[in-house]
Amino acid sequence: MSDFRAVIVDVDGTVVLGDDPIPGAPDGVQRLRDAGLDLLFLSNNPTKRREQYVGRLTPLGIDVDPDRTLTAASVTGEYLADEHPDDDLFVIGSPGLLDGLRDRGLNVDATPAEADVVLGSMDRSFDYGTMTRAMWALDDGTTFLGTDPDMTIPTAERAEPGTGAILHALGGVTDRQPDRILGKPSRTAADAALDRLGVPAEDVLVIGDRLDTDIELGRRAGMTTAVVLSGITDRSDIDEAESTPDHILPSIADVDELL
């Protein structure tokens, strides 16, 4: 049995790369469950709703409980429904993000002149026109939010630009930084995860491939952290980092070292 009671597991770069499982990842996830840990997947991918992870991961041999799955999109949706339920939102994001926000009854179709909130997220159709409209929407009284800070995302072949790239573009033309980032490593994301797990932070292990999001989320919240070298981070990144993880694993397949 493990000394931990629960584990938060990242998805992209930790259990999958693109559409393929990382070698040994399904067995690693199962060993966490066999050790008696309550497992929650927490992804900074803002393009997919949590229900989509069932269809994405189950065929790969990774069992997923929708009630134990959070994404930057779902954390963002919960926050907006609580804090900005009646506001007009100007949203830069994927169809999956937009559909999820609409399902919560949120208005995501505001014009720049109408916008109370600008939400920036990963959008593969992002272009000069979108940036211009967002710049117009971000006047002094408009709240500026981001789903997540990830500059890049890991794929099976090579990294691609993520939400952070779009937020930096908007920040560059408006001389503003987001008022709040809602995905990892924010307190908003940590609280959402701990609320579902129902255990204290000191009893939780976080496993992920990013120092600035997965590991930083755990460090800020007082969780034990383990970085895997199967995604974005390599050993040189760890050597140069200001804050280091508690543990380093080649991949989640080697989780027995922690158990």
* pLDDT greater than 60 at residue 1: no
Domain boundaries, the chain: 6-44+184-258, 85-181
Q: State residue 170's pLDDT score.
A: 97
| 85-181 matches 6-44+184-258 in CATH topology | yes
Q: State residue 19's pLDDT score.
A: 84
**Among the four given CATH numbers 3.40.30.10, 3.20.20.140, 3.40.50.720, 3.40.50.1000, the one describing domain 6-44+184-258:** 3.40.50.1000
Q: State residue 152's pLDDT score.
A: 87
Q: Which of 15-19, 20-24, 229-233, 240-244 has the lowest mean pLDDT?
A: 240-244
* pLDDT greater than 80 at residue 2: no
Name the residue with tokens 């393929």: 20
121: which residues sit within 8 A by CB, 6+ positions away? 46, 47, 72, 73, 76, 91, 92, 93, 94, 97, 146, 147, 148, 163, 166
pLDDT tens per residue across span 152-205: 887 777 888 999 999 999 999 999 999 999 999 999 999 999 999 999 999 999
Q: What span, in angstroms and rounded, lies between the C-alpha atoms of 155 and 152?
A: 10
Name the residue with tokens 């255990």: 199
pLDDT tens per residue across span 5-53: 999 999 999 999 888 999 999 999 999 999 999 999 999 999 987 788 8
Q: Which of 71-85, 191-205, 240-254 has the lowest mean pLDDT?
A: 240-254
**Contact indicator for 46, 12 with CB cutoff of 8 Å:** no
Percentage of the chain lying above the pLDDT 90 cut: 81
pLDDT tens per residue across span 103-153: 999 999 999 999 999 999 999 999 999 999 999 999 878 999 999 999 988
Q: State residue 128's pLDDT score.
A: 97
Can you name the CATH fold of 85-181? Rossmann fold (3.40.50)
Alpha helix stretches (DSSP H) within 6-71: 25-34, 50-57
Q: State residue 68's pLDDT score.
A: 93
User: Which is it for the CA torsion 139, 142, 147, 150, positive or negative?
Assistant: positive
